[in-house]
């Protein structure tokens, strides 16, 4: 948006927009325009407010943590789908209740204590292991915090730690609990079983018309098509405009002559920047190096390795400072030079690699220059067309009229689903498809949606033409599908009935598993060792639960993981891995923090009964909704 304002501030469209903005500000005032959610709060516990800014910092930190663990980016939508926003808010409420009680108990640490804690934090120390104000400012800025926010967060953290340490400092899970947990976690079982799947055509082939009609009427929504929408777009696409733009070779050559240095491959160097506490230490290191010429020893004496001091392969303008770059780029390779002032104190420089600059001829870069010129010209053309289209839209012209006036192609897409499929079950291939679909399915018929600009500069105007509600087909059109569904259900019910019948006979000792296998003409299978986390195409979570609640030599019935078959089985063996110190310690490491969290949660609930607690869930929802500034004269 700002790109458009800057580009068109002198044109008629820009002038009109500025007049409207001034008029709007004069009526509404600027207060509401710039009053966002930062000043709001999501919840309050006693006198402690949980602000939107505080929530946003914690929510983004959790997304980053999970993304790093999964080694892929987790979107806000994915995080909210699994309830991360509620989890973060709940955690903040728990912490705030503990903090508020700590304040009432006068546990709030002094400024001196906070300063000492910050000064001792390794993340804020420089190469000389000293607190560095610049590093401190950089770290908290990178984490989206102000100094005031960070200090308050540290203060609250110290309050919570005092309470947690007093309650759980020597917390240990009772031994009887550990043994029960060990048995639960390391128990394994094996079963003998048969799989039952009855599909007797004689028993389920006859399905009456009354059954078909009744089933369809009860489940007709499951046979409905997806809602579909028709929409049209006017697309200003770089790929299409590029084809219309011709760049004269003389123009490209002129640009090359005027900017030859831009097309040169500049010299790059790789070098070490080795810091010292003071000049005396630096000079001593230089003397030692002149004596033994041992760079690794020089680094080891400083407690450094090559990766600590390597600046990478960089050009002259990428150095930490002008002085450092000048020295690094004016010395010979494999030579120790200095001193030079650096952000880490007096330093020496050692150049390890030089890649010389390379001058290129026009023929080497001609295509690159032409593409750059075409890119710039096509973007200018897109903005020019954008202004013309916006002016015509403002004058009341239709997409069809605009397309004719501006020689654009009006593209129409009919019966498109919310995930971008057409009637042929093919996905649309247009830029910014996800954003277009989101807006199309959030808008009414004949709505002209605000233009959409993607990350490469394409601009798309969209209009919703029609909404096709989900269509429930006539039963005659899908009769065979309904019959097949009924057959599947009857087959499943029959199988479950037969499995239960076999279970009762085994339990009453009228029959053995071997006789069931003979009756069904199937083999008896053995599961091997099964643990509680076992899952595969045979054993569903429900069947695992059933297996582990059944006594040895007793029978059970459970559904398979995939398909309609049933398992009729007998638990043949129950064993537990031999207890040893390593397994027990591993179990304690996992479970003790879980118990602590449960106890903290219970404590927080009790504290909130004494403190006035308010939660504004509507503000949480609004925070994630797109903010639309609306008004009327």
Instruction: List the chain domain ranges.
Output: 2-34, 188-198+478-574, 228-246+365-468, 265-355
Per-residue pLDDT, averaged over 328-356, amounts to 87
Instruction: Tell me: pLDDT of 612 over 90.
Output: no
CA distance 25 to 389: 26
pLDDT score at 590: 82
Q: Do domains 228-246+365-468 and 265-355 have the same CATH topology?
A: yes
**What is the widest separation between alpha-carbon atoms in the chain?**
102
Instruction: Tell me: pLDDT of 557 over 90.
Output: yes
Higher-pLDDT residue of 315, 190: 190
Q: Which segment of 206-210, 257-261, 550-554 scores lowest on mean pLDDT?
A: 257-261
Which pTM value belongs to this model? 0.45
Per-residue pLDDT, averaged over 327-351, amounts to 87
Task: Give the confidence band of 410 by pLDDT, cuts at 50, 70, 90.
Answer: very high
CA distance 25 to 16: 14
Residue-wise pLDDT tens digits, 105-127: 888 888 888 888 888 888 787 76
Q: Which segment of 25-34, 61-70, 403-412 scores lowest on mean pLDDT?
A: 25-34
Residue 71 tokens, joined: 């080694």
Q: What is the DSSP letter of 246?
A: -
pLDDT score at 271: 92
Q: What is the DSSP letter of 221?
A: G
The CB-side HSE value for 28 (13 A sphere, CA atoms) comes to 17
Q: Which of 545, 467, 554 is CA-nearest to residue 508?
A: 554
For tokens 């079983």, what's the residue? Answer: 193
Q: Which fold has domain 265-355?
A: Chitinase A; domain 3 (3.10.50)
pLDDT score at 630: 35
Enter the CATH code of domain 228-246+365-468: 3.10.50
Is residue 361 within 8 Å of residue 260, measured between CB atoms? no
First to last CA, the chain: 23
pLDDT score at 583: 85
Burial label, 572 (beta-carbon count in 10 A; 0-12, 13-18, 19+): middle
Residue-wise pLDDT tens digits, 272-314: 988 887 888 888 888 888 888 888 888 888 778 888 788 888 8
Instruction: Tell me: pLDDT of 15 over 70.
Output: no
CA distance 557 to 71: 40
CA distance 572 to 513: 12
Residue 412 tokens, joined: 């129409």
Task: Give the confidence band of 142 by pLDDT, cuts at 50, 70, 90.
Answer: low
How open is the CA angle 219-222-223, to the nearest 5 degrees?
100
- Sign, Cα dihedral of 332, 333, 338, 344: positive
User: Could you give phi then psi for residue 456, rounded to 5 degrees?
Assistant: -110, 0
Task: Give the confidence band of 223 by pLDDT, cuts at 50, 70, 90.
Answer: confident
Task: Give the confidence band of 633 by pLDDT, cuts at 50, 70, 90.
Answer: very low
pLDDT score at 559: 92
For tokens 């006017």, what's the residue? Answer: 234
Report the run of H or E that residue 373 belongs to, with start and end.
Answer: helix 362-394
* Cβ neighbours of residue 528 closer than 8 Å, sequence gap 6 or more: 190
Residue 255 tokens, joined: 């640009």
Query: For residue 130, is it left (φ>0), alpha (ψ between -120 and 50) or beta?
Result: beta
Report the run of H or E that residue 347 belongs to, with start and end.
Answer: strand 345-355
CA distance 579 to 183: 9
Give the distance, in angstroms, between the CA of residue 279 and the centroid of all CA atoms in the same chain.
48
Residue-wise pLDDT tens digits, 470-487: 888 888 888 888 888 888
Give the distance, in angstroms, between the CA of residue 508 and the centroid of all CA atoms in the same chain.
55
pLDDT score at 463: 92
């Amino acid at each position: 948006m700002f790109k458009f304002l800057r580009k068109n501030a002198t044109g008629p469209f820009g002038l009109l927009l500025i007049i409207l903005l001034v008029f709007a500000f004069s009526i509404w005032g600027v207060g509401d325009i710039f009053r966002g959610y930062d000043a709001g709060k999501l919840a309050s516990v006693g006198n402690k407010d949980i602000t939107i800014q505080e929530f946003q910092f914690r929510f983004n930190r959790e997304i980053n943590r999970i993304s790093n663990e999964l080694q892929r980016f987790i979107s806000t939508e994915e995080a909210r789908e699994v309830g991360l926003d509620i989890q973060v808010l709940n955690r903040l409420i728990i912490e705030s209740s503990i903090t508020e009680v700590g304040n009432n108990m006068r546990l709030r640490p002094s400024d001196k204590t906070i300063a000492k804690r910050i000064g001792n934090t390794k993340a804020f120390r420089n190469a000389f292991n000293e607190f560095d104000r610049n590093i401190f400012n950089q770290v908290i800025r990178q984490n989206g915090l102000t100094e005031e926010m960070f200090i308050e967060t540290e203060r609250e953290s110290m309050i919570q730690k005092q309470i947690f340490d007093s309650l759980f400092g020597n917390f240990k899970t009772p031994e009887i609990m550990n043994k029960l947990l060990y048995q639960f976690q390391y128990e394994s079982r094996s079963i003998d079983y048969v799989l039952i799947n009855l599909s007797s055509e004689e028993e389920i082939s006859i399905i009456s018309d009354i059954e078909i009609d009744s089933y369809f009427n009860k489940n007709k929504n499951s046979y409905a098509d997806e809602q579909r929408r028709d929409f049209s777009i006017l697309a200003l696409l770089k790929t299409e405009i590029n084809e219309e733009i011709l760049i004269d070779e003389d123009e490209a050559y002129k640009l090359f002559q005027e900017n030859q240095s831009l097309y040169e491959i500049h010299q790059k160097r790789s070098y070490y920047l080795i810091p010292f506490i003071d000049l005396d230490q630096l000079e001593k290191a230089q003397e030692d190096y002149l004596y033994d010429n041992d760079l690794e020893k020089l680094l080891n004496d400083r407690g450094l390795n090559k990766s600590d001091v390597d600046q990478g392969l960089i050009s002259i303008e990428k150095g930490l400072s002008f002085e450092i770059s000048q020295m690094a780029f004016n010395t010979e390779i494999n030579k120790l030079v200095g001193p030079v002032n650096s952000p880490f104190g007096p330093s020496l420089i050692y150049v390890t690699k030089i890649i010389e600059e390379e001058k290129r001829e026009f023929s080497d870069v001609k295509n690159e220059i032409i593409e750059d010129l075409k890119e710039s010209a096509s973007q200018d053309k897109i903005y020019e067309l954008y202004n013309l289209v916006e002016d015509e839209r403002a004058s009341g012209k239709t997409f069809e009229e605009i397309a004719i006036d501006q020689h654009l192609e009006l593209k129409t897409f009919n019966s498109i689903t919310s995930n971008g499929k057409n009637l042929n079950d093919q996905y649309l291939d247009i830029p910014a498809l996800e954003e277009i679909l989101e807006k199309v399915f959030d808008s009414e018929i004949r709505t002209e949606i605000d233009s959409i600009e993607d990350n490469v500069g394409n601009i798309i105007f969209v209009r919703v033409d029609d909404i096709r509600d989900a269509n429930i087909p006539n039963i005659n059109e899908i009769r065979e599908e309904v019959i097949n569904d009924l057959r599947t259900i009857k087959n499943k019910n029959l199988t479950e009935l037969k499995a239960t019948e076999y279970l009762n006979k085994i339990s009453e000792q009228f029959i053995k598993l071997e006789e069931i296998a003979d009756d069904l003409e199937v083999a008896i299978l053995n599961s091997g060792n099964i643990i509680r986390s076992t899952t595969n195409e045979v054993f569903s979570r429900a069947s695992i639960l059933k297996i582990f609640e059944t006594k040895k030599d007793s029978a059970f019935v459970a559904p398979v993981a995939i398909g309609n078959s049933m398992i009729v089985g007998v638990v043949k063996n129950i064993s537990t891995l031999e207890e040893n110190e390593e397994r027990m310690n591993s179990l304690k490491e996992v479970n003790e923090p879980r118990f602590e969290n449960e106890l903290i949660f219970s404590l927080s609930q009790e504290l909130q009964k004494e403190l006035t607690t308010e939660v504004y869930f509507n503000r949480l929802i609004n925070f994630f909704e797109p903010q639309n500034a609306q008004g009327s004269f």
